[in-house]
Each structure stands twice: as structure tokens, then as C-alpha cells.
Amino acid sequence: MLPLLVAAVFAQAEPIQRDEFGVPHISAPSLEQAFFQAGYAVAQDRLWQMENSRRVARGRMAEAFGASFVASDREVLTFAYTDAELDQQLALLSPKTRTMIDGYVKGVNAYISETEAKNALPPGYAENGFKPLPWTAHDTAAITIRLFQQFGKGGAGEIRNMALLGYLQGRKETKDRVLDVLEDFAWFNEKSSPTTISDSDDPLKTNHPAFPIPSREVSAKHIAALPKVSLLELLPGVRLAEMQRSAAVAESVSVPFKWGSYAVVVAPTRSAPGYPILLSAPQMGFRTPSIVHEMSIEAPGYKVVGMDVPGVPGIAIGHNGNLAWGLTSGVADTDDIFFNSTESDSYMMDGKKQAFETKSFTIKVKSGSDQQVPQRRTKWGPVVVESRSGKVVFSRHSASRGKELQSLECISTIGNAATPADVHASLRHATVNFNCFFATKTGEIGYRFTGHVPIRTDQFDPRFPIAGESANAWAGMIPYEQMPHVENPKGGLLANWNNKPVSWWANSDTPVWGRVFRNSELLDALKAPKLAVSDVERAAWTIARRDETWNSFRPLIEKVSAGTRLQGFDGWMLDGSLQSRLYQLFLDDLREELFLGLTGNFISLDNFRLVAQPSVMLKALEGKTRVDYLNGRKANDVVKAAIDKAAKRLAQFERYTPPGISVPGQTAIPYSNRGSYIQVVELLKEEARGRNVVTPGVAESGPHSLDQVPWARAWMFKQMRWFQK
């Protein structure tokens, strides 16, 4: 009865209003009451989704759904925090953020209590034979931490690189040129890759942090010192470091499972109407129900409208009347893999035996026996790979471990921001990496890269695991003031699609950014001297239909495409187009023509596509790689051979079908390369006006579960409701 009594106490607040799309609009006389209503409203809309989200985040899927989920739970619990450790993170939060969490938890529980009393729980509970346990702050903390770990950190690709290294060393074609191949495929910094901040706008261009690039001698020495571990032992560690199993489970139950986003902010000097325009589109995948949710909240100290994530209190992307902001996933090498030799039940560090720290977790299995998961940790972090043959363990060391939840402070404080200084004060709390874009009603725009990024030396090759000795520890974190940032750039435009923040920012263990990168397409769609709101919206429409590699390969293709099926192709990937399908096939065949004979497929075709990126292909065709992948051929001949090979395979395919958004009972919405949530905000001096779309709708069932599908299908946006003055 306690949740019902709490609900009665909060009944004095204004009732939750819902607009024609079912979006909840909350107004309350206190922050706790507002977030009680927020928790209640989200539970009304997404209780079953929230149930799945907390189970994925806490490794408790098998308890409800059976043994087929044990592998995912085990993966999650390999890195999980205990309840006591979650309490430690919660205790570090400000009173305001704790009030938000506490109110939210009470609101969720009030709704659970009411629906149980009415026997009106979502059908998922009845179908699977259990009822919801009370919602806790631990549940919200676990979901929030998992979200931040997915979208705000990177690195730990060293195990994958070590596996690829072993693969190259084992091939007679590459064993004597391993370093050359590595430098071609796993470059540190491609200065020509598109950036968010231009060199002319960069306030740190003469005083920026160093990203050391090791010499070939350092790389060779580092590689020689790596422990001997078989591929069979490393490959499970690759899947574990990338959380592949739990990501697949998360996708299957419609909770956050992928990252990627784009954002655009236009200054008054570049804006046709003379005021700032901000577009933000987090790409978190499309499921039913939507991965994200929408609401507005008005309370003392918090008056915001925009996107939230079920289970996480507060508006993550939106506007507050004075300021609009958007986020894209930051990319930085925040994690490293350290290795230590083992001896009996201990590991060696600095010449001394160290005991493993062990945290015990239990997986309860529906219709099965409990399974124990002993999480082993070294000083560096949880053990990812344990090689019995090599007598060595590999541990994941993360810059934000134990501090992820602090980033929730940004969500609780940015709602009050009105100036760039306010935004920067809010973002100082971030421990995980995001690109944050903002625009103010007074006409200012800006950008900052957030979070913790380690300072490393040039004595190691950051692409590979590092010996776990105290002397090899990080030298702290890059200071907040030294992170990429800019205000009011000269060109009046900032655009990001997970690209490099600045030219001096390095790839480190994973070569994400090369000459060919998708942000070029976004910038190309925003070339007009003055940008209207329609131009910004059209840019989102355009990049969903354009191939991001076309402009890079176009000159080479046009030289040899006359008389072929690719003649006249313009880079538009249109539904039903044979040329679009042919271009896709061409890229795969070009990759094989260039590399397959020498490098093989890097263990699998998926790895081959990941490692042999278009940037490497382009450099190889231009003869700018260390290894001659043309092998005496002319680039034109290689391109023509790939076109001809692709044309022969085209007969197997009727047409190009773009990736779509599945909708129950309807045809798919074409062109899914867009935001799971898209908002466009115009910041007039007198007010902020926002429009958005949450595909397919705000609820998981009922009339508002699919009612935004027509808007998404037509690339339209509905009004974001603002509060009455």
C-alpha cells in the first residue's frame, strides 16, 4: 500500500496532461513531485520495456526467460557492479539528482502498484508468468550506467588487434610485412578526415594535448613482448569486450543496443531567418516500442521538453526555452587492455604476487539450476580473457569505471542552462564521452567534447595490450579545458556525424576516422550560403539516401564506367534502383580485388569489411599505402575489374532495397539511416520553437504506439509542446 499512499501525497500536483500523440506533459510544484509523475508516466507508456531494460542491464534475463539468456547475463555480469558499488556511485550524486531519481522510482512503483491492484499489467508479464518486482534506484543506476557505457566510451580494441596480428603473422603473404600492413589498415591519425572544428576555429590548435604516435621501433618492441596466446582463446574475448551477446539480446527486447548520431547547429550569421537552428538525431536503432521516449517537465529549477530514455530520469536531448542542445556519441580511446602473468590463483604485478579481487554473482535460470559467475578483477579492472596455455590474464581498464553515473548530473543541470558558460559548467560533470551541441536564444552556438580521456606515453603502441605494471599506468586524464570545444565558429555552422572532433584527435586502437567518412555527406548537404530550417531538415532527408563513399570514389569510377551498368550513377541509394545495388556489390568486389589475395579475409568476412575500410581502399588505388596492393596493376584496371565482377553478380538481385524501419502490420518505412528521435529547434529571441518525431510512437501499446509512423514515413515533424507562460 505504500506506493499508493505516496501517490496520494503527490496528488496535489497538477495531473499529467497528454497531447494528441499521448506525450506526457508534467507540471508540479516541486522537483520530487515532477519526477514522481515522470516515473509514473514512463511506466504507463513503457513498463514492459523498462522491465526488459533493467533485466538486460543487471544480468537477470534468464531468471524470467530461461536458459537461452544465460550467455548474455554472464557477459553483463563479467563487468557488472555489485549493489554496494551502485550505492557508492549513487552517494556521489548531488541532492538535486538524487531527488530526481528518488521521485522517479516512487512514480514507477506507484504505477506498478495500481496496475497490479487492477490486474492490468502489460501482457508480457502474464505471458511469461511473473510479476514486476518493485523498481529501485539500483535499477535506474544500472540502466543509466549501461547506456553511458554503450554510447559514451570506446577503446578496448586491443584484443581484436592482437588476434588480427596473430592472423597476419601466420600468413606467408604477410608475415614479413606485418608492421606495414598494420600501418595501412590501423592508422593513428588521418589529418584529412572531416572534423567538427576546423583548424581555423580551434582554440587549442597551438596548445592541445598530445596523442603520442609510437615509432616503428616502439611498435616492433611492443609486439615482440606480447604474450603468446592462441586465436581460439582471444576470439571469445573480442566478443566479450564488445558485449556482442547482450547487445543482440537488447535489440531483441527493444532496449538501447547501438550507437551513432548526427547533429547540426546553425548560427544567426549563417541562418536565413537570422536566429539559431539546432537539429539533433540520436541513432539508437528502431524497434517497437521506440528505444526512446518523449515528455516535458516543469518544476522549480527544471523546465525542459525533449527526449528521455525509459528507466533514466530527465531529458537527455531537448530545449528549455532559453537553450537547445543535442548529443552525438563521442569516440575516444577511453579503455585499455592490460595483461599480467598468472601463478596459481594470483597474478604478477611489479614482480609481486597479487590476489585477484572476486565478486560473486548468481544467475537464476527459469526452469533450470542457478549458475554462479565469479567476476575476477585485477588492479586494472575486470578480467576479459584468461589464457591457461599462456598463463596470462587480460583486464579492461576504463577511464570512467566506477564514475559513469556522475554523468547523470549533466542531465539534471543542463535544464537550467541559458548561456554557454552554463552549458560548460554542466558538462564538467561528464565522465563519459559525448559530443554536445547547443544554441541559445541570444544567438550563440557552441560545441564541446565531454568525458574522461587518458593521457598515455609514446613508449607503447596503443593498438595492443599493455603489460600490467605500475610504471605503465596512465598519467591522469586530459583536463576539461583541453578537450575539443568551440563557440561561435567563423563559418556559422557546426555539424557532426560521429566524426573526428579536431584534426589532432587520434584514432588509437581502432581506425574509425579516415579520408572517407560520412560527415562529408552531411556537410555537402549544408553548402548553401544561408541555411533555412527547410535546408536543415532536407539535410537529414538527403543523408538517409546518399552513399557516404560515393564522392570519394566517383572520379575513379567515372574514368572507366562508360558502357557499364554503373555509367551515370550519382550516389543516390534509391529504393528499387539497380545501380544502387550494383554500387554496393562493386564496393565489396573492389575490396576483394585489392586485398583478399594478400591479406585474406582477416578471419571472417565481417572482420574483412571492418578492417578494409573505404579509406584504405582509396589510398591503395592511389598508391599511397606502404604495401603495393595494386600488385603492378593500374588503378583503372582494378576498378573496372570490380565493376565487371559486380555486374555479373547483379543478376542475383532484383533491386536495391534500402534499410527500413519495421512496423507491425504495415509495410516498412524506407530509409532508416536517420535518428531514432529527431528534433529541430528554432531559437527566436522571444521564444524557442521545437518540432520532433519519435518513431513509431510514445507508448508500447494502444493508440499511441504507432501514431507517429505516418509522420516518419513522410519525413514530417510534430510540434514539441511548450509550457503556457
Tell me the three state secondary structure of residue 96.
Answer: helix
Model confidence band, residue 724 (pLDDT cutoffs 50, 70, 90) = low
Over residues 60-71, mean pLDDT: 96
% of the chain surpassing 70 pLDDT: 97
Mean pLDDT, range 144-165, rounded to an integer:
85
Q: How confident is the model at residue 345 (pLDDT cuts 50, 70, 90)?
A: confident
Q: In terms of Cα–Cα distance, which of 140, 152, 185, 93 is closest to 413?
A: 93
The span from the first CA to the last CA of the chain, in angstroms, equals 37
Q: Is the model's pLDDT at 326 over the cut of 70?
A: yes
Can you tell me the distance from the alpha carbon of 243 to that of 234, in angstroms, rounded to the nearest whole number? Answer: 14
| pLDDT over 90, % of the chain | 86
Listed in sequence order, the residues at least 6 apart from 603 whose beta carbon sits closer than 8 Å to its beta carbon are 163, 164, 167, 231, 235
Q: What is the rounded radius of gyration, in angstroms, for the C-alpha atoms of the chain? A: 26
Residues 606/612/615/619 CA torsion (nearest 10 deg): -160
pLDDT for 253-266, tens place per residue? 888 777 789 999 99
Amino acid at 200: S
> Does the global pTM surpass 0.85?
yes
CB-CB contact of 340 with 378 (8 Å) = yes
| Mean pLDDT for all residues in the chain | 94
Q: Which amino acid is at 560?
A: V
Greater pLDDT, 679 or 687: 679
CA distances in angstroms from 436 to 261, 275, 419, 449, 550, listed in the order given: 11, 19, 14, 6, 28
Report residue 686: phi and psi, to 5°: -85, -25
Cell of 428: 564538467
So what's the pLDDT on residue 317?
98
Give me the pLDDT at residue 725, please: 54
Model pLDDT, residue 237: 79
Contact criterion met (CB below 8 Å) for 395 and 333: no
| 53, burial (CB in 10 Å: exposed 0-12, middle 13-18, buried 19+) | buried
- pLDDT of 4 > 70? The answer is no
- pLDDT tens-place string over residues 375-391: 999 999 999 999 988 89
Domains of the chain (ranges; CATH) run 550-656 (1.10.1400)
Helix, strand, coil shares of the chain, percent, nearest 5, are 40, 20, 40
The amino acid at 582: L
**Measured distance CA(160)–CA(463) in Å, rounded:** 9
Q: Is 661 helix (H, G, I), strand (E, B) or coil?
A: strand
Q: Is 470 exposed, middle or buried (0-12, 13-18, 19+ CB in 10 A)?
A: exposed
| C-beta separation of 317 from 485 below 8 A | no
Band of pLDDT at residue 117, cut at 50, 70 and 90: very high
